[in-house]
Structure 1
Amino acid sequence: MDWIKPCRATGLGSLPYQDELAAIKLIAAAMPHWPHWPQLPAKIPEQGFLVQYVQPLIKLGVLTVQPVKDPVFCRQEADWDMKAANFYEKYLEFIEKQSAATQTFALTGEAFAGMEYFLSNFASYFPQAEGVKGHVSGPLTVGLQIKDERGRACFYDETLRDILIKCLAVEAIFEARRLKTLGLPVMIFIDDPSLFLIGSSSYITLTREVASAALATIIEALHAEDVKVGVHACAGIDWSILFDLPVDVISFDAYHYFTGMALQAERLAGYLSRGGKLAWGLVPTSDEAWQETPDSILARFEQQCTELANRGIDSIVLRQNIIWTPSCGTGALPVPLAEYIYNLIKEIGTINILGD
């Protein structure tokens, strides 16, 4: 039996609420079989994409938090080397399975209040659940936004990149272990939209090899925990980057960037033949959603299936390996729009596209 049934629905993570209960109720209505825990960046900055999973680096002082600015690796501080060494010491404690590492890397506090509320209330709100979904911020996107003391993206510095990747990998492992306590299959998406910058003339020093290696480290760490791993990119990337990685799910914005995926039909066919899944983000996370209905979304999907079939994709195989999602997170949207988007997901998830 496959690990996930065809055409189940889930979400990317963020919602615009400031109340966990409201978020859980929306998720339960739209995604009862594969719910995700909610990130609420509007409630508290620590639940934002950039800082949520680097909390250990902030706690240890490796990252300096500045008012109204992104955190920075301030290596000019007199004790920074000592703080970095302390991080590696804590990381080795984790590798050696010492309980002391839990205090450093555990997903606690307001940054992960949404996950704790989700776990504590899971039985009440998700009686039909077949699995659960988590998410972790991607190393390239975070690494390009967090800078060093000179204002240079930390991803370009080998030492800082190594610290960042190790932190994200351990946080992802802790998340996998927390979600597995529910006794259900787990999948975790690595959200890395900046993958679209690879090959850009503005980022000529950004190599595919380094970005892929960063992702591979986290993917392998999660696979070692026996969870399924997806990578989400909500822009038009070179999808062969992900086809070359051992990912179980490729999550993409099928509303705006379907053409790029269609152009890689041959590689897509190989990916599907290996059991790969596609998180088909066909519900736009923008005002465009107001113009859509379940019927219009499904009509667009049928057009896309026809185009892929014309390019050699087995339509039956494709349909059996789709997960419905919004095209991206909804944390920055107005609440009524986010609710409408989730309702669209709910409705299309009830429509049979398998033809049996």
Structure 2
Amino acid sequence: MSWIKPYQATGLGSLPHQDELTALQVIAKAMPVWPHWPQLPAKMPEQGFVVQYVQPLIRLGVLTSRPLKDPVFVRTEPGWEDKAGNFYEQYLAFVNGDSRAEQTFALEGEAFAGLEAFIRNFNLCFPKAQGVKGHVSGPLTVGMQIRDERGRACFYDETLREILVHCLTAEAVLEARRLKTLGLPVLIFIDDPGLFLIGVSTHITLTREAAAAALAAVIDALHTEGVKVGVHACAGIDWSILFALPVDVISFDAYHYFTGMALQADGLAQYLEQGGKLAWGLVPTSEEAWQETPASILRRFDEQCDELAGRGVDAAVLRQSIIWTPSCGTGALPVELAEHVYGLVEGVVDRLNS
């Protein structure tokens, strides 16, 4: 039996609301079976994509945070090597099960207010839940945004990349453990839209191998915790990067970037035959959503399924392997539009399961 029934829905994480309870109500209405916890970056900068999961590095002084939204590795600061050494000591202690070191990586404070609200109100808000979904920022995307003292993306520096990956891994593991306390299957997405940079002429020194190794480290740690793992990329990428990794779910923008996936139908067919799932982001997170209805979205979905079948993808396997999501970036939308997007997801899933 599959770990998730066909045609369930979840979200990618962020919403534009200013209140956790309101966000939970929106999620509960649209995604009652596989809800996600809400990130509210518009409410507090600590929940921004780049900084949310590097809070331990900021607390330990390995990253400077002036301003918070633009942290930097400044190895020229006095004592930086000692701070980095302290981080490694704490990380190794965490890996070895030291509960005191676990506090170093605790998911707490304003950065994780949405997670706390989700767990605290779970039974009230999600009585029909069959699983829960979390998320962590991806190492390549964060590593291309956080820079060193010379202004160079830290992902290019092996030492800094290793520190970043260790931090994200610890945060992802602790999130998995928190969500498992709810007693349901757990799915965590690694959100790494920066994968589209691989192969781009402006980033010729960015290697596929480094990006894949960074993702694999987080994936393997989460699998060790017994949870399912997805990777989300919202632009057109070389999907073979993810087909080659032990990923349970590949999340993509099927509204704007379906053609890129269709062109890699051979790899997709093999991935699905091996039990992989697709998070089908066919509900647009843009003004285009106002022009769509559940019926129009499903017409487009049927056309996409037909095209993939024509390219050799087993249509029955495909349709049994779909998880519905918005495409990407709901947290950057006006509240009214974001709620309309979630309403479209709800309407699509209701039609498919009626």
- TM-score of the pair, normalised by structure 1: 0.98
Which string of whole-angstrom CA distances, capped at 9 and with x for unpartnered residues, describes residues 29-54 of structure 1? 00000000000001100011000000
Kept in 1, the 8 Å contact 2:51–2:68? The answer is no
TM-superposed CA distance for 1:314, in Å, is 1.1
Match of 2:249 in 1: 249
Match of 1:65 in 2: 65
- Show the 5 A alignment for 1:24-35: 24-35=24-35
Structure 2 residue 138 is matched with structure 1 residue 146: no
Structure 2 residue 125 is matched with structure 1 residue 125: yes
Match of 2:293 in 1: 293
Kept in 2, the 8 Å contact 1:139–1:168? The answer is yes
Runs of at least 4 residues off by over 3 Å: none
TM-superposed CA distance for 1:183, in Å, is 0.3
TM-superposed CA distance for 1:353, in Å, is 7.4
Which string of whole-angstrom CA distances, capped at 9 and with x for unpartnered residues, describes residues 149-205 of structure 1? 000000000000000000000000000000000000000000000100100000000
Kept in 1, the 8 Å contact 2:48–2:69? The answer is no
Cα distance in 2 for partners of 1:57, 1:156 equals: 18
Cα distance in 1 for partners of 2:207, 2:68 equals: 31
CA change 1:68–1:183 in 2 (3 A) is closer
Match of 1:278 in 2: 278
Cα distance in 1 for partners of 2:284, 2:353 equals: 20
Kept in 1, the 8 Å contact 2:46–2:68? The answer is no
Structure 1, unpaired ranges of 5+ = none
Structure 2, unpaired ranges of 5+ = none
- Show the 5 A alignment for 1:213-292: 213-292=213-292
- Show the 5 A alignment for 1:1-356: 1-67=1-67, 70-352=70-352
Cα distance in 2 for partners of 1:28, 1:116 equals: 16
Kept in 1, the 8 Å contact 2:8–2:33? The answer is yes
Cα distance in 1 for partners of 2:37, 2:111 equals: 12
Cα distance in 2 for partners of 1:139, 1:287 equals: 30
CA change 1:139–1:349 in 2 (3 A) is same
Kept in 1, the 8 Å contact 2:51–2:69? The answer is no
TM-superposed CA distance for 1:67, in Å, is 2.5
Cα distance in 2 for partners of 1:306, 1:55 equals: 45
TM-superposed CA distance for 1:68, in Å, is 6.5
- The one-letter amino acid of 1:121's match is N
Aligned residue pairs total 354
TM-superposed CA distance for 1:100, in Å, is 1.0
- The one-letter amino acid of 1:71's match is P
Which string of whole-angstrom CA distances, capped at 9 and with x for unpartnered residues, describes residues 272-314 of structure 1? 0010000000001111111111011000000001100111111
TM-superposed CA distance for 1:329, in Å, is 3.0
SS at match of 1:351: helix
- The one-letter amino acid of 2:206's match is L
Kept in 2, the 8 Å contact 1:232–1:252? The answer is yes
- The one-letter amino acid of 1:340's match is H
